[in-house]
Structure 1
Amino acid sequence: MEGNFKIHNRLALDASLSPGLVFTPGSPLHLNLLTHYSHDTPTTITRTIEVNNQPREVTENFESLDMTTATEGATEACTTEASSTSLDHQSSSDTLIASPPSTFHETEKPPLQITHVLPPEKVDQRPFRQFRHVVFTVYRRLFTVVIIANIIALILIDISPQDTRFYFKAISSAASANLFVTIAIRQDYVINFLFDIFASGPKSGSLHIRRILTKVFEAGGVHSSAGICALAWFVRLAIFLTLSFENGSVRNVPILALTYVLLLLITGIVIFAHPKLRSKTHNTFERMHRFGGWLSSATFWTLIVLTAKYLANLSGSEQSTIEVLIHFPSFWLLTLNTIHAIVPWLRLRKLEAWPERLSDHALRLHLKANIGSFYTVRISDSPLSEWHSFACFIDSKPKNGSTNSVVISRAGDWTAKTIAEPKPYYWIRGLPTRGVLYMSLMFRSIVLVTTGSGIGPCLNLLFMDPSTRPTVRVLWSTPKPLATFGEEILGNVREADPAAVIWDTKRFGRPDMVALTWQLLMESQAEAVFVISNPKVTKMVVYALESRGVAAYGPIFDS
């Protein structure tokens, strides 16, 4: 900030702190003005300054103050004319470093200053780095393993004798096996089992091994690839039955028709599960998965029974329909799939909810759910319509007997409606499932990076006893944190990390999340970074750190 200032009263400097420093009346004095200051009245300002790199106390009495132009963000200078009293200036090179009063409209300092610059050097060469961290992620590696296993199975089946009974049995079994894997890997108890097993290693173990095990949340690659492979096997089954119908070996119209109906249903499920369509038409994706899945299961059961009956009636068959069925692996796999589809609905529960409106943008729902830490729950106000997953954390201050809370922020039609008109109850189904942050317990120290309502899942970790959780440094970027999320949540964050960086984007603008994360990482020397944010920020921060050799984790679209 540069300006011309006239001091019409005395500028007094403590002589004991500044011997020999004198102002000459009317002579210019160059001051470098910084941003920290303290003042008692609008006309009396006491501040610490530096003269020749020595700290001094200075009191300035201003009757009037005129300022011309201001330039924000830089070290500020002004030319001052001293009058009424003279002080001998020992050296023209002496510089006063001080701070302007609030009337200067200074730029407020952001909550964290960058002293550790993000290094440009990265671990791998660019082509390999892109391939490793962007193209061939753990998710896609698991995806590839399942694809290769299915290709091998297809080759083995095709080189086997082309007996109609064997071929149908083999193809239907392969399709059923992939459907089973697709559904099983998404079951609540399977997810929790995998997380608990992978997170059970000691913190004293190899950091390299712990970094690998933490990627368990990318097991969704198995789900998606098995689903695609199931579709491929049904395509192969449709081709086989069509050719068999033409050559007369399997002349059964209902079987052929049901095969194409099943193929159409599974194709629709796979198409709407594509990430782009899933994000744009989430409600359609969810209904297609639910109702299309139920209809596919019923169609497959009908197809299996009709096929068993047809094979039992073939000339030379010595088995009944029941006997043929129980010798089909697909019968047993389909039975397990049906059980998996039914069980979560047997745990459908209606919970009382006490809404706490944090702002027009966010709502906190207090639930009487008795759920532990690090779990995600599926919530709905209409069980057959749509379900939404939210991280559930333990209430530090229960309301009306509540045990848990979820934070809902405005992100779509359902969340906007819920914030505007919360209901006194909500439905949950199935078991609560583990989330990404549960894997943070494998590390001694972490940096926790979050934006907006992502602070909700983080409270699970922050509420833990410090002796049982890793040391945590928090970076939370959000607009108007106090107004949006309330004093209680901010207090929870500060209690867990007194030096937490809470970046108000309305005051300081959007921060460089990568640079700030790196700063906290260098300050704390943490073992890992966990990012809970929107997909864009999560991918950006995780890639920037992983490509520099840092263990960084964040939810993916199919976590």
Structure 2
Amino acid sequence: MESLNEENTRSSSCRGVSFEIRAPEVFPEPVHSQRLLSRSSSHFCDVERDDEDEKHGPLPIFQEVSNDLEKQQPGQALEPREQHTGDKGDRSVTPVKTNESRLSIILLDQGLFTVYKRLFAVFFTVNMAALVLAIAGNFSYAERKAATFAIYNVLVLTLCRSEAFLRLVFWCSVKALGRPWVPLRMKTATTSFLQSVGGIHSSCGVSSVAWLIYALVRTLKHRHNASPEIIAVASAILSLLFVSCLVSFPLVRHLHHNVFERTHRFAGWTALALLWVFVVLTAGYDPKSESYDKLNASRLAKQQEIWLTLLVTLLTVLPWVTVKRVSVSVASPSGHASIIKFAGGVKAGLLGRISRSPLSEWHAFAIISDNKEGHMMLAGAVGDFTRGLVSDPPSHLWVRGVHFAGLPYLVHMYNRAVLVATGSGIAVFLSFLLQPEGDHPRHGRIRPSEQMEGEVVVVTSNPQGSRDVVDACRGEGIAAFGPIWDS
């Protein structure tokens, strides 16, 4: 029995921070005792698969991150507590389903009442309520300014996918809530919301199409108030937004991701360019003379549509201003993954995007860094792009200068978090091991007598692995978060 325990526990160290890799005691037996059979993603695949891994199955990385790493008690497990994750659902543990495909887990196991879908429903309901009032003649402003409501929705959906804006929001959230006295309920609710803002993005995208359809129908009914050019441009914008919504449907997005990414990008850019034409023509058109005699700078400056479109344009252009081609060093310790090295340190919890062809596709990976001289990315060789890094390692890659924040960054908000990873999913958390001091100067060190149990579990794995761990934790009343696969 003693030899078996030794065989199932591996030790490692990283810049003086030692940690054990073992199956966590906190999870129920049905979850961690069965091998996770779902296919790995390009971010979370096994780096090496030796005979021992085949024999025992992948063991999760179980690492506690606290404000005092040197003094935390070894082997300390999370105690079940009341769950505050923002989701009210069945807390029973879901048994492992070993015959499911990765796609079925992504599409079918999200649940009907996730925060993502609730946000979608709320924003869509508000938009549709306003639209119904406008159609019924009880909301005269929306009736006259239907196209403006469509532009407002475009602005909101752009904000929800603006990496620079969300980086600021994440930073402010950690600054405001990352203190020991802030209630755990508030922290987990904020984490759920920030992780699921994609629901607002999707909802506003669909709503903008609905508003634009209504605006176009009204314009056609009162054709004498608009020029043929305005109608043609509005129709083109509507078509582009509709196509963008179609390719964003989850099944299409996951089965044909490159098609989704390129269509979404180029249709969006074209629609934005046409939006400028639309607002300028609309502002300058005079129905009485059927000409553009009113078109001048003073009149344009007074149109709110111009300023909304300008803000959307700035948010869209900002990430591309920071794009640059940098030299990289790519190593492949095995055929399963590649390690990409860059110059410059990066704060723990951030992610970055890389590309060989910046106009066609971008790929996001976790950043591994000690926040000093350099940083790395670990890319599992699963897709065409990541396999190409192994077979044909580049000397240069395109990167975006603005690194964006994701779920791992919100770990800074908690007093102590438990991080769980399988395969190259460990890359998401390695920066926390390389930067063990974290935010001590801001919070101060907590004395051993005041140390708390882990407040939250954060997992990065393949879809089935993430689902099983999150479901098991929530079934025990422990707050847990994992990837939601919304993009």
Deviations 1:321-359 (A, max 9, x none): 555533432221111111222222111111110112121
1:138 has 2:138 as partner: no
Cα 1:279/1:354, change in 2 over 3 Å: same
Amino acid at match of 2:131: L
TM-score, normalized by length of structure 2? 0.71
Deviations 1:361-405 (A, max 9, x none): 111011014432221111011111211011112159x9xxx6000
1:389 aligned counterpart, secondary structure = strand
Amino acid at match of 1:243: K
1:135 aligned counterpart, secondary structure = coil
| Counterpart contact for 2:350–2:408, Cα < 8 Å | no
Matched with 1:478 is none
Distance between the aligned counterparts of 1:137 and 1:108, measured in 2?
33
Mapping 1:513-524, distance limit 5 Å: none
Mapping 1:33-48, distance limit 5 Å: 36=3
| Counterpart contact for 1:312–1:321, Cα < 8 Å | no
Distance between the aligned counterparts of 2:462 and 2:57, measured in 1?
26
Mapping 1:275-424, distance limit 5 Å: 275-311=250-286, 313=288, 320=295, 322=297, 324-394=299-369, 403-424=374-395
More helix by share: 2
1:242 has 2:223 as partner: no
| Residue 148 of structure 1: how far off its partner (Å) | 2.6
Distance between the aligned counterparts of 2:418 and 2:58, measured in 1?
19
Mapping 1:135-534, distance limit 5 Å: 135-158=112-135, 160=137, 170-200=145-175, 201=177, 202-215=179-192, 216-245=194-223, 249-250=224-225, 252-311=227-286, 313=288, 320=295, 322=297, 324-394=299-369, 403-465=374-436, 468=439, 525-534=453-462
Distance between the aligned counterparts of 2:92 and 2:230, measured in 1?
49
Cα 1:308/1:314, change in 2 over 3 Å: farther
Distance between the aligned counterparts of 2:232 and 2:244, measured in 1?
19
2:111 aligned counterpart, secondary structure = helix
Deviations 1:34-76 (A, max 9, x none): 6749xxxxxxxxxxxxxxxxxxxxxxxxxxxxxxxxxxx9xxx
Deviations 1:242-269 (A, max 9, x none): 3223xxx346332222222111111111
Deviations 1:479-514 (A, max 9, x none): xxxxxxxxxxxxxxxxxxxxxxxxxxxxxxxxxxxx
- Identical amino acids, percent of aligned pairs: 29
| Residue 457 of structure 1: how far off its partner (Å) | 0.9
1:556 aligned counterpart, secondary structure = coil
Structure 1, unmatched stretches of 5+, are 1-33, 38-72, 74-106, 470-523
| Counterpart contact for 1:133–1:547, Cα < 8 Å | no
| Residue 149 of structure 1: how far off its partner (Å) | 2.5
Of 466, 469, 473 in structure 2, the residue corresponding to residue 545 of structure 1 is 473
Structure 2, unmatched stretches of 5+, are 5-32, 34-54, 61-76, 95-108, 441-451
Distance between the aligned counterparts of 1:443 and 1:385, measured in 2?
38
| Counterpart contact for 1:185–1:223, Cα < 8 Å | yes
| Residue 108 of structure 1: how far off its partner (Å) | 8.0
Amino acid at match of 1:459: L
1:366 aligned counterpart, secondary structure = strand
Which has more radius of gyration? Answer: 1
Structure with larger RCO (C-alpha < 8 A, sep 6+): 2
Amino acid at match of 2:486: D
- What is the aligned residue count? 390
Cα 1:556/1:36, change in 2 over 3 Å: closer
Distance between the aligned counterparts of 2:92 and 2:123, measured in 1?
23
1:384 aligned counterpart, secondary structure = coil
Distance between the aligned counterparts of 1:468 and 1:307, measured in 2?
52
Amino acid at match of 2:114: T
| Counterpart contact for 1:188–1:430, Cα < 8 Å | no
Matched with 1:86 is none
| Counterpart contact for 1:144–1:225, Cα < 8 Å | yes
Cα 1:111/1:195, change in 2 over 3 Å: closer
2:180 aligned counterpart, secondary structure = coil
TM-score, normalized by length of structure 1? 0.62
Matched with 2:71 is none
1:358 aligned counterpart, secondary structure = strand
| Residue 305 of structure 1: how far off its partner (Å) | 2.3
Distance between the aligned counterparts of 2:215 and 2:374, measured in 1?
51
Amino acid at match of 2:257: H
| Counterpart contact for 1:391–1:406, Cα < 8 Å | yes
